[in-house]
Amino acid sequence: MAKVTGLDGIVAAETDIGHVDGENGHLIYRGYWAKELAVHYEYEEIAHLLWVGKLPDASEKQQFTARLASSRELPLTVRRLLDNIPREMPIMSVLQTAIALLSGEFSWPPTLEQAISLTAVVPTIIAYSYRSQLGLAPIEPDNQLSHTANYLYMLTGKQPEPAHIKALNAYLILGMEHGMNASTFAARVVLSTQSDMASAVSAAVGAMKGPLHGGAPTEVIAMLDAIGNKEHAEAWIRQALERGDRLMGFGHRIYKTRDPRAEALRHVTEALSSNDPWFDLAIHVEKTAIALLEEYKPGRRLYTNVEFFAASIMRAIALPSELFTPTFTAARVVGWSAHLLEQAQVNRIFRPQSVYTGPMPE
Ligand code: CMC
């Protein structure tokens, strides 16, 4: 029998939220092209679309934006935790712990209100712990700012540039939802036991931080820094592939063509980074790597994934690499909570089987 690994090709749920078409490179959120939503709408509107099922009209948008903004403050229990947690703890671990702590205040079944409060507070936890690691005082949320602008403001204490808000908004929207990826699946499995939404999201954060999932952009920066310049690219990539290493930011379980999120983010980054030698190097590495992957892994159809250009975009808006995966999490929490609301509607506990390959008793 063929080795059973990774649930490849297994359908785990039916969903109305998002559709990933890996052959054609399409990503659809509730009937809309995600790449178009990313450039024409704001974070709050797409959160509304994914949770409620429709884009908000002007007055719904205003009310919904105000609801999200009013939930940004850290609950006292979380503030105490963050003040006492070791400073060297990675932000993803802080986030996972803080969200697990919130689970004491959440209960089954999941609600829209819970989705709003978790999503609103994630950027505040990230910014608070990032600044505390740097020995800086926290910046309180500014409720006059949009979700995206306020995140940048809480990190830096400065009013963000409109071009940076636009670019980050596009990235966050493209990162919100992606079908039955590892973290979303982890979240749905936890919720299926009738556990609470915060416990499920905390588990999802644990899945997200692995380098094969949300941890990849940091590794992309490390790879580009190690390559250093265009002249070294081919030799460096060849050596990596000869060793059997994986190139970070390439390959995907579902996409067998270019990841449409990578395509959209490349355009957004181009607008921000014209004449940036680092971005120029990224484009060269992309081209060289795709050709060499075809040579070393023929027929596997390995192209750039979202993480390759996520790294470029975050570098262009001056976010340091320790914030890459947390920022991806601030996006994906919307998709996780949408899936959890959906899971509760059709809930049956996840309980797959395994094939026993050990010895039998004599
Ligand atoms: N570099 C080199 N070879 C690769 C890569 C890569 N990035 N990705 C897959 N391969 C090879 C792999 O070695 C295998 O070769 P062989 O058949 O000779 O053993 C073949 O392609 C199939 O790989 P697989 O492990 O069956 O693929 P998978 O579907 O289990 O893995 C993946 C998907 C994303 C984990 C993998 O492509 C990878 O490790 N990529 C690098 C990490 C990365 O960029 N992750 C971000 C993913 S996008 C964000 C998200 O959705 O989470």
- Provide the pLDDT for residue 275: 78
Distance of alpha carbon 113 from alpha carbon 341, whole angstroms: 11
- The residue among 10, 12, 3 whose CA lies nearest residue 186 is 12
- Given a contact cutoff of 8 angstroms between Cβ atoms, the answer to whether 141 and 69 are in contact is yes
Least confident of 14-28, 54-68, 308-322: 308-322
- ipTM surpasses cut 0.85: yes
- Given a contact cutoff of 8 angstroms between Cβ atoms, the answer to whether 185 and 200 are in contact is no
Atom of ligand 1 nearest to the CA of 246: 1
Which of 297-300's residues contact partners 24+ apart within 8 Å by CB, and which partners?
297/241, 300/251
289-318 average pLDDT score? 93
- Provide the pLDDT for residue 1: 64
How far from 332 is each of 129, 160, 173, 204, 301, CA to CA, in Å? 19, 22, 9, 9, 26
HSE of 316 in the Cβ direction (CA atoms, 13 Å)?
A: 30
Adjacent-strand bridge partners of 27: 20
What topology is assigned to 16-350 in CATH? Citrate Synthase; domain 1 (1.10.580)
Helix, coil or strand: residue 227: helix
Q: Which of 178, 250, 257 to mutate to test the pocket of ligand 1 (most atoms within 8 A of CB)?
A: 250
- Whether the upstream peptide bond of residue 109 has omega within 30° of 0, thus cis, is yes
HSE of 107 in the Cβ direction (CA atoms, 13 Å)?
A: 0
Spot the catalytic one: 44, 219, 286, 307: 307
Q: How far apart are the first and last CA of the chain?
A: 24
pLDDT band at residue 216 using 50, 70 and 90 as cut-offs: confident
Helix, coil or strand: residue 41: coil
Residue 252 appears among annotated catalytic residues: yes
Q: Where does 53-106 have alpha helices with state H? A: 58-69, 76-84, 91-102
Residues with CB under 6 A from ligand 1: 6, 178, 181, 212-214, 216, 246-253, 297, 300, 302, 305-307
Spot the catalytic one: 147, 178, 252, 339: 252
The model's pLDDT over 17-26, given as tens digits with 9 standing for 90+, comes to 999 999 999 9
For residue 219, pLDDT beyond 90: no
Q: From the CA of 2, how far away is ligand 1's center (Å)?
A: 19
| Torsion angle of the four alpha carbons 222, 309, 322, 134, in this order, in degrees rounded to the nearest 10 | 110
- For 361, which DSSP code? P
Residue 284 appears among annotated catalytic residues: no
The model's pLDDT over 246-282, given as tens digits with 9 standing for 90+, comes to 999 999 989 998 899 998 999 898 888 777 888 999 9
Q: Where are the domains of the chain?
A: 16-350
Radius of gyration over every alpha carbon of the chain, rounded to an integer in angstroms: 21
47-58 burial code (b ≥16 CB/10 A, e <16): bbbbbbeeebee
